Amino acid sequence: MSSNLKTLSEYFDDVMDIVLRYRALLSGVREGAEKAKVDGNLAGLARDIEALEQKVDIDYILKDAPALIHESREGTERIKEIVLSLKNFAHPGEARFSYSDVHKNLDSTLNVVWNELKYKTTVRKEYGELPEIECYPQQINQVFMNMLVNAAQAIKVKGEIAIQTRSLGDVVEISISDTGVGIPVENLARIFDPFFTTKEVGKGTGLGLNVAYNIVKKHRGAIDVKSRIGEGTTFTIRLPVHQAEAME
C-alpha cells in the first residue's frame, strides 16, 4: 500500500502538470478561435471542456487529491509502525531466554497500547544508557503493557505518564509513574494479590498486576510501588542483566 501510494503521488504530480498546461492551451485556443471567428467546432469543444471542468470541480480535485494522498501515506506509515510493534511485542517463536533492548520493548509496547493512552495522557520518556538484558522479551513486554494500561486507567481526566530507566550495574531499573488518583495506603500491601482490584465492576480483573509481579519474580527481579492519594503512583521494576540459570 505504501509503495502504491508513493507511485500514485508521483503519477498525480505528472498528471497535474499536464492538466495545467492543457488548461493554458485550452484558454488560448478558445480565445483565438472566437476572435478569428473560424473553426466554430474548435471553440465549441473548448467551451464543452470548460463546462465539464466546472461540473467535476477540477479545481477542488487538483487541490484535494494531493492532501488525500499525503494523509493516506501517513496512515500507512502508522500502520507499518503498529504492525512492527506488534511483532516486536509478541516476539513470536521465542521460547527461551534471549538478550533484548529494554527501550525497544518499551517503545513497542507504547505503540500497542497508544489508543488507551493518547486521549488523556502525555508520555514523558527519560531513558538512560542500558545494556541488553537476558529475558523472555514477550513476557517483559506483558509487564510493561500491564503497568502502562494501569497507569492510564488511574488518570481520570488528563495527566502524565513518565518512564525512566537507568543502569545499576548488573541490574536495570525501569520506573513507570502516573499523575493519577493514587492508591490508598491500606491497599498497597495487597496490590499484587490475585483478583484484588479497586476498579469498578467490569473495569478490571485484578490479575494484571499479579501477572506482572509473577513475571518479574520469575526473572529473578523485583517490583515495588509507591503512591499518594491525589498525586499518583510509581511502579519500579528491577531486572538482572544476566540470568544465572534457565527457567523451566
| Domain definitions of the chain by residue range | 2-79, 96-240
**Mean pLDDT score, 27-36:** 70
Angle at 17 between CA 15 and CA 22, to 5 degrees: 90
**pLDDT tens, position by position, 47-60:** 777 787 788 787 88
Q: Which of 59-63, 141-145, 198-202, 243-247 has the highest mean pLDDT?
A: 141-145
pLDDT at 247 exceeding the cut of 50: no
**Residue 95 has what pLDDT?**
63
Residue 190: its H or E element: none
The mean predicted confidence, pLDDT, of the chain is 82
**CA-CA distance, 43 to 35, in Å (whole number)?**
10
Q: What superfamily would CATH give domain 96-240?
A: Histidine kinase-like ATPase, C-terminal domain (3.30.565.10)
Sign of dihedral through CA atoms 109, 114, 117, 121? positive
Angle at 35 between CA 34 and CA 39, to 5 degrees: 45
**Residue 196 has what pLDDT?**
60
Distance of CA 69 to the CA centre of its chain: 20
**Residue 201 has what pLDDT?**
45
Instruction: Please indicate whether residue 29 or residue 39 has the higher confidence score (pLDDT).
Output: 29
**pLDDT tier for residue 198 given thresholds of 50, 70 and 90:** low
Cell 498497597, located at residue = 188
**CA-CA distance, 144 to 116, in Å (whole number)?**
14
**Residue 206 has what pLDDT?**
56
**Mean pLDDT score, 154-173:** 93
Residue 232: its H or E element: strand 232-240
**Residue 202 has what pLDDT?**
44
Distance of CA 104 to the CA centre of its chain: 13
Sign of dihedral through CA atoms 113, 115, 120, 123? positive
**Mean pLDDT score, 153-174:** 93
Q: Model pTM?
A: 0.61
CA-closest candidate to residue 161, choices 144, 136, 178 = 178
**pLDDT tens, position by position, 167-184:** 998 999 999 999 999 988
Torsion of CA 40, 46, 51, 56, to 10 degrees: 150
**pLDDT tier for residue 29 given thresholds of 50, 70 and 90:** confident
Query: What residues are paired with 159 via a beta bridge?
Result: 121
**Mean pLDDT score, 91-109:** 81
